[in-house]
Amino acid sequence: MEKQERIILVTNDDGITAPGIRALIEAVRPLGKVVVVAPDSPQSGKGHAITIGVPLRLNQVDIFEDIEAWQCSGTPVDCVKLARDKILHRKPDICVSGINHGANHSINVIYSGTMSAAMEAAIEGIPSVGFSFLEYSYDADFSLPAKVAREVTERMLRSDLPAGTLFNVNIPVVEEKDFRGLRLCRQADAKWVEEFDERRDPHGKKYYWLTGQFKNRDTGEDTDVWALENNYASMVPVQFDLTNYRLKQQLEADWKDL
């Protein structure tokens, strides 16, 4: 009985038709009742955006065998909010997001719709996890990431985790025989160096495409980037209290005249 009643909310940011979400659904299907609420279009890089200025559409779709699924016109965060309020009418037991087509390690956690959806659920007190595979292509082989997603989800469901627990899991592109397993990490201190690609439209007016190069300036061996470069799947516990307590303490001493 208990197993039937366990609800697993599945979402993503690549959109409901992406192969990555299908792989995730199949991975977690044996663990409970799966309900999918995902964007109806690609929402990569949407971060923690919510939709305020326009209303949202939400439509049930039948594209996964025996799985209740809804597509939403909004962002990944909107999907989680709508799932909670209008579809599930209660907290799911866990929220899993992904499997993202492409990396979301290090600073990418901040830009990622995949991770923002999971974070939104965590803010609601739902144990949550985002999965990302370091292979962008649409026809990537999701068998290793799916195994990792299943293992992490099972582990989270059987563990007694604090409210608001959230993980950022990235999976390397590696042969299964060379895969070294999961590794708890911290977020690497890395960033993107932007180089906008400037072009001119047919009317002679300039426009810009965002492009950039990823730069890891962190040499630590406890980071997610290091783990992925060494054939581990990285698992970073993530928080949404953004207070910089160390700086706060320092300034309480330095800025007594405040």
Within 57-76, the residues that bind a second copy by CB under 8 A are 57-58, 75
Pick between residue 19 and residue 42 the one whose CB is nearest to a second copy.
42
The reply on whether position 101 binds a second copy by CB under 8 A is: no
Pick between residue 67 and residue 73 the one whose CB is nearest to a second copy.
73
Is there a binding annotation on residue 44? yes
Residues 60 and 62: their CA atoms lie apart, in Å, by 7
Burial of 141: CB neighbours in 10 Å, binned 0-12, 13-18, 19+:
middle
Residues 213 and 120: their CA atoms lie apart, in Å, by 28
Which among 25-33, 134-142, 170-178, 233-241 is the span making contact with a second copy, rule CB under 8 A?
A: 233-241
Residues 101 and 21: their CA atoms lie apart, in Å, by 9
x/- site string to a second copy, residues 179 to 218, per CB under 8 A? Answer: --xxxxxxx-x-x--xxx-xx-----xxxxxx--------
Shortest spacing between CB 31 and a second copy, in angstroms: 18
Within 77-96, the residues that bind a second copy by CB under 8 A are 77-78, 81-82, 84-86
DSSP secondary structure string, 142-164? -HHHHHHHHHHHHHHHHS-PPTT
The reply on whether position 116 binds a second copy by CB under 8 A is: yes
Pick between residue 5 and residue 198 the one whose CB is nearest to a second copy.
198
Pick between residue 30 and residue 181 the one whose CB is nearest to a second copy.
181
Which SS3 state, helix, strand or coil, does residue 109 take?
Answer: helix
Integer angstrom CA distances of residue 82 from 55, 117, 199:
12, 11, 39
x/- site string to a second copy, residues 14 to 53, per CB under 8 A? Answer: ----------------------------x-xxxxxxxxxx
Output phi, psi for 117, to 5 deg. -60, -45
The reply on whether position 136 binds a second copy by CB under 8 A is: no
Q: Do 47 and 58 contact (CB within 8 A), yes or no? A: no
Known binding-site positions for a divalent metal cation = 13-14, 44, 100
